Amino acid sequence: MSYELNLISLFMEASFVVQMVMIILIITSITSWWFIFDRWITLSRVEKDIFNFENFFWSKRNIDELFLEISKKTKKIGLEQIFYVGYEEFKKSDSASDVKKVMNIVTSRHEDDLEKRLAFLSTVASVSPYVGLFGTVWGIMNAFGGLAQLTQVSITVVAPGISEALVATALGLFTAIPALISYNWSISRIDKILKNYSNFSEEFLILLSRQTK
């Protein structure tokens, strides 16, 4: 005899508290996936911009010409902006320490932008299993609480209540696992991006120090 799992019927037959837990987890999961795709698109674009700008930068022999081309852009992002503010400060103060400070400030701002929504994914990864477990415990308590009113007890009586309760745990894991994977993956990519920013800043400072000699 086979048993077919019907998630809709399990949800409809669950207690109000378990239903609310399921709804919260479903909404959280949808939001997490939205943020996961958003971070993937954003980080991929940033990595592409780094590759394109580095090729563009090292193919130019004259920094002033490069600065002039970038200054014409209405929106400067990533390494473009780091280079632009750094060289702009260098032309004003001719101080390597000031140039390094402004480039570090811009890098810090980019870091904040790159890490947007990651706190949410981290929280979801940590909390969702416990939210699902709460729903499971509550559902099992209701299932066993109903046994007190029965004179004969069998697994067929308890099974539906336990099944609907365990769905909450499954939803919690379904919500948490992608959020955790995306969070760790995004942090690793952001670290590489920031390292590229830092390496470029150091190389650019070396080039500027040669110009002052």
Residues 6 or more apart in contact with residue 169 via CB below 8 angstroms: 129, 132, 133, 135, 136
Mean pLDDT of the 69-75 span: 84
The neighbour count for residue 114, using CB atoms within 10 Å, is 20
Give whichever of 15-19, 148-152, 182-186 has the largest mean pLDDT.
Answer: 182-186
- Per-residue confidence (pLDDT) for residue 137, from 0 to 100: 84
Tens-digit pLDDT profile for residues 96-105: 788 889 999 9
For 116-133, what is each residue's pLDDT tens digit? 889 999 999 999 999 988
* Confidence band for 153, pLDDT divided at 50, 70 and 90: low
pLDDT at 148: 57
Average of per-residue pLDDT across 164-192: 91
Task: Give 171's contacts (C-beta < 8 A, 6+ positions apart).
Answer: 21, 22, 25, 26, 29, 132, 135
pLDDT band at 1 (very low <50, low <70, confident <90, very high): very low
Q: What pTM did the predictor assign?
A: 0.81
Q: What integer pLDDT is reported at residue 74 of this predicted model?
A: 81
Distance of CA 163 to the CA centre of its chain: 32
What pLDDT does residue 28 have? 94
pLDDT of amino acid 149: 58
- Of 134, 128, 136, the closest CA to residue 164 belongs to 136
Model confidence at 2, in pLDDT bands (50, 70, 90)? very low
Rounded distance, CA 161 to CA 113, Å? 45
